[in-house]
Structure 1
């Protein structure tokens, strides 16, 4: 039997197991919550992760097309890029698929041709990891940019209130932006940038 047929037969099992091992990378209490349900509204993070791995798995079965698979990777990586993961940890979910597939196909790997096909599949998974790292770096760059702008705006407001600078700065579009002059009180020291949600932070469109 060809590898693709085996993967199609075990699709549900592989996806559930892959989802579980991804959630194991989170703290126990977070993992427990994310496992409870995959509803888009009550558990958007769990829903996004599961929808993402479904799309990635289908892409592997049907032949990798980066333009088609990239949005599924993007959804997962946007989430992990704003969480407490190192770069390697953030994209590790891709490599976990190798482990899951080998565990589920341990009895079939010895069959003629399966081992060779599996190595080819794992090479495709490695390609996805490279793509994932590129997406991750774009997300982090956007986060740093937003944080830098927020600190700059906060500093300007503090100086303005202390009458250390003129109230009108006409040559700087950032300092004259609507967000800066909205009247929001962000003068507290140690305040973290106020991001509405994951999409605000890593909106690369």
Structure 2
């Protein structure tokens, strides 16, 4: 084979496409599958993050709920303070229930049960506060009525004293107006016993 023919044979060959280009053309379905898996993985990670965040908020709220229950069971608890704490706890449970669409059923059920328990305690504290307020109002009313009755009794006792004084004065006046018969009787006795001489 001559040198010229060798050159022409080389020139007649077409260049091959690079190896990596052939692989990228063949891997389009694989790329689609990888992208789909990545989207699913990101979505699953978002769901797990939402569930984790909801459970963390739920656990914080449960700790607050347990503290409130413990304080509520003590003798003479501070109901105003407990109500404020419970409102914060209820708000935390509300935050935990915000993304219920992304929550797993077990997580959703747990948070809902805890939130219902917290709402029940809040309602009980509100009821106790209302009855305590009504009790203090009725006690104040009773004290006011006792004060009025004591004032009235004081007024009536004063009135009785004044009436007694008036009666005594009236009796004195009547006794002054009545002629004194004792001197006349004494005189008549003297006249009767007087001797004619």
TM category (shorter chain) comes to: 0.3 to 0.5
Larger Cα-atom Rg = 2
- Which one has the bigger helix percentage? 2
- Give me the TM-score of the superposition, normalised by structure 1: 0.36
Higher relative contact order (CA 8 A, sep 6+): 1
- Give me the TM-score of the superposition, normalised by structure 2: 0.37
